[in-house]
């Protein structure tokens, strides 16, 4: 089948063996073509811009720019691309963040019955894909105390990144990141970074290592 008639897919995961496994799963189906692979957020944003795939299969927790930030970047330039988020974690907060970022689906990487082909097909058709192992998040209505940007900064703080590193990734000034950090501390009533990390893990705001 000509590639123009197939669903084109871009894979993004920092583990080569995982990408290889997903590629084999997808390429067993003659209606799907894997057109590229990325190992981090910067690569997937760049490749999505040049390849314009129908679907991006995105690992949520990649080093550097994570999958949530990469999803926002990709959809900001090409909203027609369907992003299918893959994660090891089923916390509702993370699922909601993925959909808030614009993802069309959220599936668990470690699910025994993972049917990636079916998920890709559904995402390409414009359907919302949600792993049966996670609860459907409340996408509208009451929000957490932190904004989406503050949650993004919080995740990077918990990953041990400095204000300067966070600023470079999000393309913001160091002063802006310092303000976000202060707002997060004030909102949560915390005073130390260690307390912040513990709080974030306990409340499912960051993926466990």
Q: Would you kindly state where each structural domain of the chain is located, as residue ranges?
A: 3-130, 148-202
Closest CA to 84 of 60, 106, 115: 106
Residue 12 CA to residue 43 CA, distance in Å, equals 8
pTM over 0.75: no
Helical H segments across the chain, by residue range: 16-27, 41-51, 67-77, 92-100, 116-124, 148-158, 163-170, 174-188, 193-202
- Domains 3-130 and 148-202 belong to one CATH topology: no
Residue 40 CA to residue 61 CA, distance in Å, equals 9
User: Domain 148-202 falls in which CATH fold?
Assistant: Arc Repressor Mutant, subunit A (1.10.10)
- Say if residue 102 is exposed, middle or buried (CB neighbours under 10 Å; 0-12, 13-18, 19+): middle
Measured from the Cβ of residue 179, the count of other Cβ atoms closer than 10 Å reads: 13
Query: 67 and 61 in contact (C-beta within 8 Å)?
Result: yes
| Exposure on the CB side of residue 180, measured as CA atoms within 13 A | 24
Measured from the Cβ of residue 183, the count of other Cβ atoms closer than 10 Å reads: 15
Q: pLDDT 10s per residue in the chain (209 long)?
A: 555 689 999 999 999 999 999 999 999 999 999 999 999 999 999 999 999 999 999 999 887 888 999 999 999 999 999 999 998 888 777 888 888 889 999 999 877 667 899 999 999 998 888 888 776 654 433 345 678 888 889 889 988 899 999 999 999 999 999 999 988 888 877 888 888 888 787 776 776 55
Q: What letter does residue 94 receive in the DSSP assignment?
A: H
Helix (H) or strand (E) holding 35: strand 32-38
Residue 57 CA to residue 74 CA, distance in Å, equals 12
In which residue are the tokens 């123009």 written?
A: 4
Helical H segments across 39-115, by residue range: 41-51, 67-77, 92-100
User: Domain 3-130 falls in which CATH fold?
Assistant: Rossmann fold (3.40.50)
């Amino acid at each position: 089948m000509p590639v123009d008639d197939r669903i084109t897919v871009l894979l993004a995961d920092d583990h080569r063996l995982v990408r290889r496994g997903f590629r084999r799963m997808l390429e067993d189906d003659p209606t799907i073509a894997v057109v590229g692979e990325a190992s981090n957020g910067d690569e997937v944003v760049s490749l999505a811009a040049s390849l314009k795939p129908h679907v991006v299969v995105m690992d949520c927790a990649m080093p550097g720019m994570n999958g949530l930030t990469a999803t926002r970047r990709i959809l900001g330039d090409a909203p027609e691309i369907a992003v299918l988020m893959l994660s090891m974690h089923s916390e509702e907060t993370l699922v909601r963040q993925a959909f808030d970022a614009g993802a069309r689906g959220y599936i668990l990487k470690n699910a025994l019955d993972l049917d990636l082909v079916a998920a890709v097909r559904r995402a390409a058709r414009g359907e919302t894909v949600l792993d049966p192992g996670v609860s459907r998040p409340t996408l509208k209505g009451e929000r957490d105390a932190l904004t989406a940007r503050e949650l993004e900064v919080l995740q990077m703080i918990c990953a041990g990144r400095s204000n300067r590193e966070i600023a470079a990734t999000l393309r913001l000034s160091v002063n802006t990141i310092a303000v976000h950090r202060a707002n997060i501390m004030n909102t949560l009533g915390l005073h130390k970074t260690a307390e912040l990390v513990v709080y974030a893990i306990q409340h499912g705001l960051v993926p466990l290592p």
